[in-house]
Every structure is written in C-alpha cells, then in structure tokens.
Amino acid sequence: MIHLKVNGASKAFSGDPEMPLLWYLRDELLLTGSKFGCGIGICGACTVHVNGQPVRSCVVAMSSLAGKEVITIEGLSLHADHPVQLAWAQINVPQCGYCQSGQIMQAAALLKSKPNPTAHDIDEAMQGNICRCGTYQRIREAIKAAAEVKA
C-alpha cells in the first residue's frame, strides 16, 4: 500500500506500483487537468508538483510517491486564483489550451523558487514545456505579470 497526499487529501494506492502517476490521477482520482502528451516526459503537458517540485507525471511511478505530496492543477488554488492562473486569463495565453495546465504548473514552480525571474530564468524553466500553438510570447508575458503580483 502506497500512502500519499493529493491536493491535500490523504490517499492510499494498492495497484501496480509501476503505474505512472498520470494514470492514477486521471483514471482513479478523476483529476483530468493534467494531460497525456508524449508519455516520455519531454512535452510537459502532464506537469504536476511532487513535494513542491515540478515533475512529469507520465514518467513518475507510483512506487516513488510513498509519503509524498502531489499538487495538480486542480489543487494549485481553491478558486483558480493563483497569480499565474489570473495572469494566464488576463494575458489570454491559451489557444487550444491542451498544454496549459502543465505550463501553469511549471510557471508556478518557477515563481515559487524565483519570485522575480529574469527573461533567461523564464526561458530556462519553461523550455521543457511544449506548446504546439506557439503561445510562448504570451506565456512569458503572463509569467512576468504573475511575478509582479507576487512581488
């Protein structure tokens, strides 16, 4: 039995210990905000936080999560009012929207570790999150706006 917390709630998992976290979140907990993109951890659509760090949930085995805390896009803010979420709406970042939960989770982790990131910091932190629609300029602008709110 693997005990962990997801969005603040205690959970017990007794399934296949090699199951990727993404499938546990989506299929068993019905938290579908994190998306399946590539399945090999390079696109970022499935990004969540584990113990405060951004991870690609498609490549994290449940066996590695004992005693850890997972935060998904659904748990980032109770009322979807995290500064990054508000900036995303203000700047109108999404186009198709598929990658956006992963983008937001990566950006939130960046701002937690670097509250006033430089353009280089933003580019470096976000380089592993792919947006097929190419909204990268709006993503950068929204991260800068969210940093101003947090400052």
Phi, psi at 3, each rounded to 5°: -105, 130
Look at residues 133, 127, 126, 16 and name the one whose alpha carbon lies nearest to residue 142: 126
The pTM for the full model equals 0.93
What is d(CA 31, CA 27) in angstroms, rounded to the nearest whole number?
8
What residue ranges define each of the domains in the chain, with the CATH number in brackets?
Answer: 2-75 (3.10.20.30), 83-150 (1.10.150.120)
Residue range 21-42, pLDDT digits in tens: 999 999 999 999 999 999 999 9
Pairing of strands 47-50, 69-71: antiparallel
Contact 84, 107 (CB under 8 A): yes
Place of tokens 């900036």: 87
Q: What is the mean pLDDT of the chain?
A: 94
